[in-house]
Chains A and B, each alone.
Chain A
Amino acid sequence: MKDVSFGQFYPVDSFVHRLDPRLKILFLIAYIVAIFLASNFYGLAACAAVLVLIVIFARIPFGKVLRAIRGVTFLVLFTAVLNVLFYSGETVYWEWGIFCISFEGIIFSLFLALRLVLLVVCSSMLTYTTTPVSLTDGVESLLTPLKWIRIPVHEIALIMSIALRFIPILMDETSRIKNAQMARGADFESRGLGKKIKATIPILVPLLLSAFRRADELGDAMDARCYTGGKHRTKYKKLRFTWRDAVAFLLGAALIAGVVVMKIYLPAPY
């Protein structure tokens, strides 16, 4: 339970860590667009190459990247298998009822799996290299235009950062409650959906109660430190574009342009 790496910041000083969070968020969006624009393996290879560059420049150990992928292994395998079985291609190897395995099906599902993996790795690179505070600062800054239509952007950003901060604490608490309930004879090993759902109740109820208590105390602590909302607040960390951001921006633009060019001029071999 403790080893949850989602949303966990990996503290080293690197090129990517120093980028403006707004740029990183926009880059991620651009990257996702590029992944879905890419219609052949050349395009995806370009995306993958860029991602490898990012991982190297972010100084994130390879194991961390693998861990991010491991979290979605099931999803990737599941969709890949379904795709292989249901894709109706021309070069059919095996057929049984509505199922068929074809060359095109295999290629297609491989393609999709790769897309998913790239997507997950790139998103986790954002959370690995950006502290929740600067992430929410970035979101807040990007959403600023929404203030004009009276959406409480500051509050939303703060809620987001507090939620991220409390993930590891509540994870810890969950395993502690689980152990405590097991010590009292609770049964978490039983199979069967009904039993499994039933087994979560003695975990969820105390967890919720404690979350409310924590929220209450945090509210008091924030009040005690003069928190009154976003109105008169200043920011210690100012977001600033630097030459690094310009480099990253150019890279992102080049990637999208490259993928589009390949889409048009390099016809898919498959």
Chain B
Amino acid sequence: MKAIEFADVSFRYEEGGPLAVSHLNLSVEEGEFVAVLGHNGSGKSTLARLSNGLLTPDAGSVRVFGQTVNEKNLFDVRSQVGVVFQNPDNQTVATIVEDDVAFGAENVGLAREEIGKRIDFALRAVGMEEYRHATVARLSGGQKQRIAIAGVLALMPKVVILDESTAMLDPRGRREIVDVVTRLNKERGITVILITHFMEEALLADRAIVMNRGELVMEGAPADIFERREELVTYNLALPHIGIICEKLRAGGMDVAYTLDAAVLAKEIAKCVS
């Protein structure tokens, strides 16, 4: 089943302004892990906001599990499609972890016992059980962002969209988030849309999409996308670090095969040196 479907969607933020998203056609299957790449202003965040009805398209339609998003089913759509944003400080409502995770579940009017179960589930899913009674402000960036994911998971969504949720984190925090998201996708079958400008993160996805000026310009398996180096550069995107190292080595006259896997590259280098 198609989790999210964009049919010829266009959107602009202000009358007469440029199209933030233009004639976008895109569908994401249930259970898929999709990475959305793009430079600043490419329309990738707009894509996230259109997916859960925070924005309404000017033309075309957005369907979530077959249901066209409109004013009446916003509630339903938002509990199926959770969005985690960039700044962890600006998306926690409460001071204590469990109160914040409970926020969404309280909003949809669940019973007390059920909310308790949801908190257990959500915190376990992001590996933060022991922080249930902690103060959010005292956590690290990666932990705060895991709490934000838990807050979304408490609504039991089928799709989780991360809108540059790793952009403000240090490398360790980024790894935590990517690990959590990968596990959610593999173990619980939650559809994940990871919007990022870190190329490394895209490698873990089933499919990668590149956006440029509101248009979908590249689509395919991440490894294939990164093969098309010249094209990526025209969209202001760089290769993952491993790819850059490969290129430099080859430019320097070392005969290594082009790869995006650190282990493979290490073997290649060993072959050349011996």
Contacts and interface: CB of A to CB of B under 8 A. Distances in A.
Whether chain B is bound by chain A comes out as yes
B200 interface: no
B135 A227 contact: no
B102 A236 contact: yes
Contacts of B110: 234
Interface in A83-114: none
A251 interface: no
A228 B75 contact: yes
B105 A11 contact: no
A162 interface: yes
A228 B107 contact: yes
Interface in A118-152: 131-133
Given A133-B96, A232-B109, A221 B115 contact: no
Given A217-B90, A235-B106, A225 B112 contact: no
B99 A224 contact: no
A227 B90 contact: no
A237 interface: yes
B54 interface: yes
Given A223-B78, A224-B78, A226-B79, A169 B107 contact: no
Given A133-B95, A217-B87, A225 B135 contact: no
A225 B87 contact: no
B137 interface: yes
B116 interface: yes
A184 interface: no
B111 A221 contact: no
Nearest to B49: A220
B79 to A, nearest CB: 6
Given A165-B94, A168-B137, A225 B99 contact: no
A76 B35 CA distance: 60
Given A235-B112, A236-B99, A238-B112, A227 B94 contact: no
A176 interface: no
A169 B89 contact: yes
Contacts of A225: 78, 82, 103-104, 107, 151-152, 155
Contact of A236 (B49, B93, B115): B115
Given A226-B78, A234-B106, A234-B110, A218 B91 contact: yes
A233 B106 contact: yes
Given A169-B137, A220-B85, A233 B107 contact: yes
B175 interface: no
Interface in A187-236: 214, 217-218, 220-228, 232-236
B39 to A, nearest CB: 21
A220 B55 CA distance: 10
Contact of B83 (A224, A227, A235, A238): A224
Interface residues on B, range: 35 or more
B110 to A, nearest CB: 6
B59 interface: no
A181 interface: no
A226 B90 contact: no
A217 B79 CA distance: 18
B267 interface: no
A169 B144 CA distance: 14
Contact of A214 (B90, B103, B111): B90
B84 to A, nearest CB: 9
B52 interface: yes
Contacts of B93: 161-162, 165, 218, 221-222
Interface string B119-159: 10000000000000111010000000000100110010000
B92 to A, nearest CB: 8
Contact of B91 (A161, A221, A236): A221
B85 A226 contact: no
Interface string B62-85: 000000000000010011001101
Nearest to A210: B90
Nearest to B151: A225
B108 interface: yes
Interface of A: 9, 11, 131-133, 161-162, 164-165, 168-169, 214, 217-218, 220-228, 232-238
18 contacts: A9-B135, A132-B94, A133-B94, A165-B92, A217-B91, A221-B91, A224-B52, A224-B54, A224-B82, A225-B103, A226-B78, A226-B155, A228-B107, A232-B109, A233-B106, A234-B112, A236-B115, A238-B112
Given A226-B108, A236-B119, 12 more contacts: A11-B135, A132-B95, A161-B93, A168-B137, A217-B86, A218-B93, A224-B83, A226-B79, A228-B75, A234-B109, A234-B112, A236-B112
For the complex of A and B, list the 8 residue pairs with the smallest distance between their C-beta atoms, beginning with the closest. Answer: A221-B91, A225-B104, A217-B90, A236-B102, A232-B109, A226-B107, A236-B115, A224-B83
